[in-house]
Amino acid sequence: MSNRLFLHKRYVATVLLSCLVALSGCGKEDQQAGAQGGPPPTPVSTIKLTETPTTIFTTLPGRVSAVRDAQVRARVNGIVQKIEFEQGREVKKGQVLFRIDPATYQAQAAQAEAALNQAKATASSARQLANRYSTLVKSNAVSRQEYDDARAQANQADATIASAQAALDAARINLSYTDVESPIDGIIGRALVTEGALVSGTEATELAHVQQMAPVYVDFTQSTSELYRLRKAMADGQLTKVDENTAVVQLELEDGTQYPENGQLLFTGVSVEPSTGQVTLRATFPNEEKLLLPGMYVTVKLEQGKDEKALLIPTQAIQRSTDGLNNVMVVRDGKVAAITIQTGGEVKNETIVTQGLKAGDEVIVEGFQKIRPGAPVKPQPWKKDKAAGNNGQPPQSGAQEQAKEGGEKSPAQESKPEQQGDKPAQ
């Protein structure tokens, strides 16, 4: 009994001693924190700015349009007898798409052909009479007037032949229009009429729509203010001008993915649209896979110059304030400072800074959640390859990383006191 009481008193003394040691440690930490004048510096990930030769791209909105866009319309009146194509498929130039009832036009062609034959027969008789009178007039067997009349009738018969031939050609053309052909190679949309529908050549009834989609045009616009700013930068020597014939034109689709092939700039507009204050540009893109569809909204990235001393920062480092300005957090003398910047284009998830920063500045990229201007921080180099895994959270201390990777207990876990229910060691 006395031995058990002794062990119990020894256990209580051990617990009290541990508590005193812990309290003493806390007091020292409080004293150290007080001596430093506040909480310990917050770890943040930073980069130091350096001047980097960079190609300047301007991001502009654009729309896709077909290189050739043909409306298939009726050119004669009649009833649609048959539709000869599969909707949404490729068609070739000259391929028959619709067949219109040709009976009326066949009859007109036959009638014109008969009129031509009649004119040829009449002309043959008039020509023979004129030839006969040409001999008789020399012997005064016929008068000169009769000879002249015979020649005039022969010439009139030849004119009648020409008129009849033209009428036959017109009848045959109208007959050919009963087979409605595709005017270009391309992809045809839905049929706008059905079999049995009455179509009008007078009103040019639209039957279908064919678009050539390889390659395609992309039309985009640029504001005159931005165009002036770029030209001024080139004049001041800040940017090196690129040749428009070799300028790189990239395309970003609606879902944010990059189009795999670059385009070629065709022209830059020379006039300004008065209502918008913008100039129009056009580029052509290959489209063998038919990924680009007419009318699709896209984002165009146009190469417009090269900056040999560009300052690039990760786009995630930029914060937009309530007044619409772009701000970044920098480290100066171990503390946070907020800087308002002006930006240019983007290059692979990085943004070009045009004003507000200089080479050598240390910009905070991760760890914004627990800092504010004037707060002390502990800068650590930003690891770009691990940025996606951090999700913008501040980096962990070395002890925390070792505990997570190695599965070891942290100091707090090792010094955790036993629960009241545990028995002391015998």
Based on its alpha-carbon atoms, the radius of gyration of the chain, rounded to whole angstroms, reads: 44
Residue in this structure with the two tokens 């070629």, named with its chain if needed = 264
Which pairs count as long-range contacts for 14-19, CB under 8 Å and 24+ apart, including other chains? Answer: 15/417, 18/415, 18/417
More confident residue, 157 or 275: 157
CA dihedral sign, ordered 283, 287, 293, 299: negative
For the chain, what is the largest distance between any 2 Cα atoms, rounded to a whole number of angstroms?
A: 176
Helix (H), strand (E), coil (C) string for 346-393: EECCEEEEEECCCCCCEEEEECHHHCCCCCEEEEEECCHHHHHHHCCC
Q: pLDDT grade, residue 235 (50/70/90)?
A: confident
Residue 228, pLDDT above cutoff 50: yes
Q: What are phi and psi of 179, to 5 degrees?
A: -100, 105
Containing 398, the helix (H) or strand (E) segment is: helix 398-406
Which of 227-236, 260-269, 330-339 has the weakest average pLDDT? 227-236
Which whole-number Å values give the CA distances from 71 to 91, 296, 352, in the listed order?
A: 14, 19, 46
- Mean pLDDT across 80-84: 95
Q: What does the mean pLDDT of the chain come to?
A: 80
- Contact criterion met (CB below 8 Å) for 281 and 297: no
Per-residue pLDDT of 110-164, as tens digits, reads 999 999 999 999 999 998 988 888 888 888 888 889 888 889 999 999 999 999 9
| CATH architecture assignment, domain 102-177 | Orthogonal Bundle (1.10)
Per-residue pLDDT of 38-74, as tens digits, reads 678 889 999 999 888 887 778 889 999 999 999 999 9
Q: What are phi and psi of 183, to 5 degrees?
A: -80, -20
Residue 388, pLDDT above cutoff 80: no
pLDDT of residue 113: 95
- Calculate what percentage of the chain has a pLDDT beyond 90: 36
Per-residue pLDDT of 66-78, as tens digits, reads 999 999 999 999 9
- Contact criterion met (CB below 8 Å) for 108 and 168: no
Which whole-number Å values give the CA distances from 269 to 48, 154, 216, in the listed order?
A: 40, 62, 18
Q: And the tokens for 16?
A: 């009290």
Residue in this structure with the two tokens 């005039």, named with its chain if needed = 152
Highest mean pLDDT among 131-145, 177-191, 374-388: 177-191
d(CA 345, CA 23): 56
pTM of the model: 0.60
Q: pLDDT grade, residue 214 (50/70/90)?
A: confident
More confident residue, 163 or 391: 163
Cis peptide before 215 (omega within 30 of 0): yes
d(CA 368, CA 363): 11
